[in-house]
Copies of this chain bind each other. A is one copy, B any other.
């Protein structure tokens, strides 16, 4: 047998032999049951060491191309149908939104201002956490999240959000999406779920994706209409009581009590409270959580650090009521934590050291200035614009009265390189969505724009819509 080997190649000689024989076997040129030359013979023929040949044969045996028959030698195995390994063809990525439109003013309600992120602090804490004394940090931690971090979160939630919880009941996970999936497992499969309509679309997609039947419940000026929960056998309801997403209304205490009463009336009913941007309230104190007044263990409290710190920090938390916590421990506590322990340690120090509170205060001030600027600038529209959902969150809800539908308004603005985001698509109920599309309600995000950009952007929008009004009046 002649095997072409190149002693000067970077590829070890045993590997050259192995590769050559493997190809010969795969192509069928070396027939099944063929006896390979003995290791001594081949070594002599190729003028190489016998060890090299043995390594090559041994690898072929490991992978099953060759069988070793003691005291007889090496034989080509029957390896079954031959398939040819081909490199996959490059494919076009399936329709991902690739728009060339780069707006001058992007009023996205989903963006955050990361220019205020305390880089040097984060880096310092990161280095502290990764010192050599602390190697255990690289081992797998508690599936619920590290206890120290859970204690910090527990203290923070108690002090700032009025949440009533022990660290033990907190689950840390890689973002709200992941936690909602885990919660769906805990709550079980055959559930009927009520959601606010209009709704936080991401949560809607996830709960719907988990196979739940979703019942949309209208939202009025006090939040979800609790009396409508009684018309269908709802198992749990997903709400954003401190700042309804997207309408921005706050659920007053009376409605909260009614909602809790609904849950208490029947075993197995739960309320998911998503406290998505509660840190940012610009008038008075933050609205305390619904969870804090729940004495019957019916509220699941959900939050993340995406808005308060940065979206890239994939850390969310969920506070479970007793019965659900017990189900988690019994059935799902084997899921490994989804958050790197290094990140957990950095975040823990960030809260413990008071950096988080300072950061939130700084950002609240910064966002308030942007919020105030936008509110002030919108005044040029006079009674052509009506603003709601103000004094909290990272966007305003503005209805435009200029004879345009939502889509017309968005398209008109886009021509002037202003990107707007409509409310209508947040409706689950398709009939309502159609009605809303005829109006022109916009979620005007201000987080990632400077005050100058906000001023200029709103003025641009005014000019662009004034022309519209002029045209109409002609």
Contacts and interface: CB of A to CB of B under 8 A. Distances in A.
Interface of A: 14-15, 18, 55, 58-59, 62-65, 77-81, 83-88, 90-91, 93-94, 112, 114-115, 117, 119, 122-123, 126-127, 130-132, 135-141, 164-166, 168-169, 174-178, 181, 185, 189, 202, 205-206, 209, 211, 222, 250-258, 260-261, 283-285, 287-288, 292-293, 295-296, 306, 310-315, 322, 326, 329-332, 334-343
Given A250-B62, A250-B63, A254-B77, A94 B340 contact: no
Contacts of A15: 285
Contacts of A177: 335-336, 338
Nearest to A261: B81
Contact of A312 (B139, B202, B209, B261): B139
A123 B130 contact: yes
Given A83-B257, A257-B81, A119 B139 contact: no
The 9 tightest CB contacts between A and B, nearest first, are A64-B252, A80-B257, A174-B338, A138-B310, A140-B311, A59-B284, A312-B341, A64-B253, A174-B174
A87 B285 contact: no
Centre residue among A88, A132, A185, A253 by max chain B CB count within 10 A: A253
A164 B312 contact: no
A252 B81 contact: no
A295 B83 contact: yes
Contacts of A331: 209
A87 B162 CA distance: 11
A335 B180 CA distance: 11
A191 to B, nearest CB: 14
Contacts of A132: 119
A65 B287 CA distance: 12
Given A79-B253, A130-B122, A132-B119, A174 B165 contact: no
A29 to B, nearest CB: 16
Given A202-B334, A285-B15, A254 B312 contact: no
Given A55-B284, A285-B18, A252 B63 contact: yes
A322 B94 CA distance: 11
B329 A94 contact: yes
B117 A312 contact: no
A343 B122 CA distance: 13
Centre residue among A62, A339, A341 by max chain B CB count within 10 A: A62
Contacts of A126: 123, 126-127, 130
Contacts of A258: 80
Tell me how many chains of this kind the complex includes.
2
Contacts of A326: 94
B58 A284 contact: yes
A318 to B, nearest CB: 14
Contacts of A260: 83
A62 B138 contact: no
A77 B166 contact: no
Given A90-B166, A117-B135, A137-B312, A254 B285 contact: no
Nearest to A117: B138
Contact of A85 (B14, B62, B80, B164): B164
Contacts of A255: 64
A175 B93 CA distance: 25
Contacts of A114: 135-136, 138-139
Contact of A293 (B85, B251, B312, B337): B85
Nearest to A19: B285
Given A311-B138, A343-B343, A64 B168 contact: no
Nearest to A110: B140
A343 B340 CA distance: 8
Given A83-B296, A178-B338, A189-B211, 16 more contacts: A58-B283, A62-B250, A62-B283, A62-B287, A64-B251, A65-B253, A79-B253, A80-B258, A139-B312, A174-B314, A181-B181, A202-B336, A206-B334, A312-B340, A312-B341, A340-B340
Contacts of A117: 135, 138
Nearest to A335: B177
A331 B211 CA distance: 12
A86 B139 contact: no
A168 B91 contact: yes
